Structure 1
Amino acid sequence: MIRPMQSHDAPDVLALLNWMDDAPEREVFAPDARALGEFQLECEDSLCFVQEGEDGVRAYCALSPFRGGMVLEGPLAEPGGALALGALAARAVQSAEGLPVYAFCARDNLPVRAALEAAGLNPMHTTDFYAAPVAALARTARTPEGYLLGTELPFELYRWLYRAAEDTWAGRLDWTPEQYDAHCARPDVRLLALWRGERAVAFAELELCPEEGRADLTHIAVHPAERGQGLGRALLGLSAAELTLFPEVRTLRARAHDHMRAARALYARAGLTHCRSIVTYLLEGEEEA
């Protein structure tokens, strides 16, 4: 029986989340919390469903606000629960009321991928993740001759370079100066920029996750006119050197969508190794008449 999640279901759902954590191929988009109280708080803005069996909750799925639409958390089911995956995904999609629905899961999570596609979601792209030890990358750190390294970038130059370097990052083009300043002021964000004279020509943006022992390279941008000069690889080394200021951060992780051939080649040349693949799915919303 599929029904809305109730507070007494939370321990069973947490057990499912911990089971997911035990194997990379089970990964789906899911709540971060693994403690009871934190999980209940995280679910407050979500529409959560469970499938109940004789011994408690067998499967979980939720729908949360995301990018002007909704995102699926899950579906997630205990071993042998493939039918529950499909039923929960279909129930959640029905509750989206015509809004776009996104979903994310490991490329090797074939049962969930089949359930998502049966519910009408279509794969958009695959994002591959790469990682390398900070110490190894930091040994290559150097500022290229003719360039200066800075740790700040005015908003207008950031947006200009952001637009010139990669049009698929369109979300940040809507930021206000105040949003940009607030982002850069976060203690977990670091920004490095390479300047040639009065103009910034490349930047790398980092988000620190010290509790997980890593930092994520969230963006790396090189102006098209400056490509072929080794600036991307230089920024990787300089980013790692910046991270040596945080001993708890031992790994630098980067990502690239399947169409980003230049980024993939850069990470391979720099010694980063592939560690994870995530498929993004989308069910487009119903257009208003």
Structure 2
Amino acid sequence: MIRPMLPTDVPDVLALLNWMDDAPEREVFSPDARDPRELQLECEDSTCLVDTDDEGVRAYCALSPFRDGLVLEGPVSDGGHLPALLRRALEHADGLPVYAFSARDNAPVRDALETAGFAAMHTTDFYSGPLALLTAQACAPAGTRISRRLPFAEYRALYRSSEDAWAGRLNWTPEQYDEHFAQDDVRLVALLRGDQALGFAELEFCPEDARADVTYVAVHPAERGQGLGLKLLALAAAEADTHPEIRTLRVRAHDHMKPARALYTRAGLKHSRSVVTYMKDGDEDV
């Protein structure tokens, strides 16, 4: 039976999430919480559905606000009816686009998403390695200096010149920019020649996983081909190394980002996982 999630379902949903965590090929976008109280709080702003039988909750999914529409959390299923669960979830989309994320090897979920009308947009590959792999190279090239702050206009200009698809940041206000980098788990490392920004690496710390994520590396087109991308990765690793609980650096690249993939391979980082991004257009019939 498919129905809205109840507080009494929380232990079963947590068990499903932990089951998902046990195998990389089961990965989908899902709540971060792995504690009953935290999960209840995280679900407050979402439309959460479960598929149940006599043994309890067999599948879970939810819709939450995301970008210009909604994001599908899940479906996470250990024997649930994925097509029916997705159909019920999409009834709550209210004509908005719905995004979904699944491990490339999660064939049951990918088949269900595609049957429900979701189209694959791109695949994102993740690469990782120990900080020590890069920190020895963490120095500014001759004639440049390191900065941990950029004026908002230069930050946005580098994004634009790097042809990044993360267009939402191009619409940030200066106040949003300041708020983002005021967070304790966010860092920026930039290289400058005089007052001219050559590029930057942006990090987010994930101490619970002993990891720092490089969320973006930007090098101005006029400065490419000089090894600055590798230097920025090394500087990012050195910044992460100032936190004793962080041991690993992780980066990501979409399937069309061939220079980034080549950079990460050249740096010695190893491929660790692949995630497919899907979208169902809000104008399509459910």
Match of 1:61 in 2: 61
The whole-number CA distance in structure 2 between the counterparts of 1:167 and 1:41 is: 33
Contact 1:69 1:101 in 2 (8 A): yes
- 1:28-48 deviation per Cα after TM superposition (whole angstroms, max 9, x unaligned): 111111111111111111111
Q: Report percent identity of matched pairs.
A: 67
Aligned to 2:183: 186
**Shift in Å, 1:167:** 3.3
| 1:101-155 Cα distance to aligned partner (Å, 9 max, x none) | 0000100000000000111101000000000101121012221112111111011
Distance 1:235 1:70 in 2: 34
| Matches for 1:110-129 after TM superposition, within 5 Å | 110-129=107-126
Confirm or deny: 8 A CA contact 1:29 1:105 kept in the other structure: yes
Instruction: Answer with 256-265 or 178-187: which moved more.
Output: 178-187
What residue is the counterpart of 1:46 in the other structure?
A: 46
Name the amino acid aligned to 1:123.
Answer: A
Letter aligned with residue 4 of structure 1: P
- Does the Cα contact within 8 Å between 1:71 and 1:102 map onto a contact in 2? yes
1:260 aligns with 2:271: no
Q: What residue in structure 2 maps to residue 25 of structure 1?
A: 25
Q: How far apart are the structure 2 equivalents of 1:186 and 1:64?
A: 23
How far the C-alpha of 1:244 sits from its partner, in A, is: 1.6
Q: Within 2, Cα distance between the matches of 1:133 and 1:232?
A: 18
1:9 alignment partner in structure 2: 9
Distance 1:22 1:128 in 2: 20
Give the 5 Å matches for 1:159-238: 159-238=156-235
Unaligned runs of 5+ in 2: none
How far residue 57 of structure 1 moved from its aligned partner, in angstroms, is 1.2
CA distance in 2 between counterparts of 1:258 and 1:167 reads 13
| Number of the residue aligned with 2:267 | 270
Classify the secondary structure of the residue corresponding to 2:75.
strand
Query: What's the offset of the Cα at 1:180?
Result: 0.5
The Cα offsets for residues 34-84 of structure 1, whole Å up to 9 and x where unpaired, read as 111111111111111111111111111111111121111111111x44xx1
The unaligned stretches of length 5 or more in structure 1 are none
Give RMSD over aligned pairs: 1.1
TM normalised by structure 1 equals: 0.96
* Matches of 2:119 and 2:238, distance apart in 1: 40
Runs of 4+ off more than 4 Å: none
Amino acid paired to 1:29: F
Q: Is the 8 A contact 1:166 1:221 kept in 2?
A: no
SS in 2 for 1:50: strand
In structure 1, give the amino acid aligned to 2:110.
Answer: R
User: The residue matched to 2:71 in structure 1 has which SS?
Assistant: strand
Deviation at 1:170, TM superposition (A): 1.1
Matched position secondary structure for 2:225 = coil
Q: Quote how far apart the aligned CAs of 1:169 are.
A: 2.1
Q: In the aligned structure 2, how far is the partner of 1:90 from the partner of 1:252?
A: 38
| Partner deviation per Cα, 1:86-109 (whole Å, 9 max, x = no partner) | 111111112212110000010000
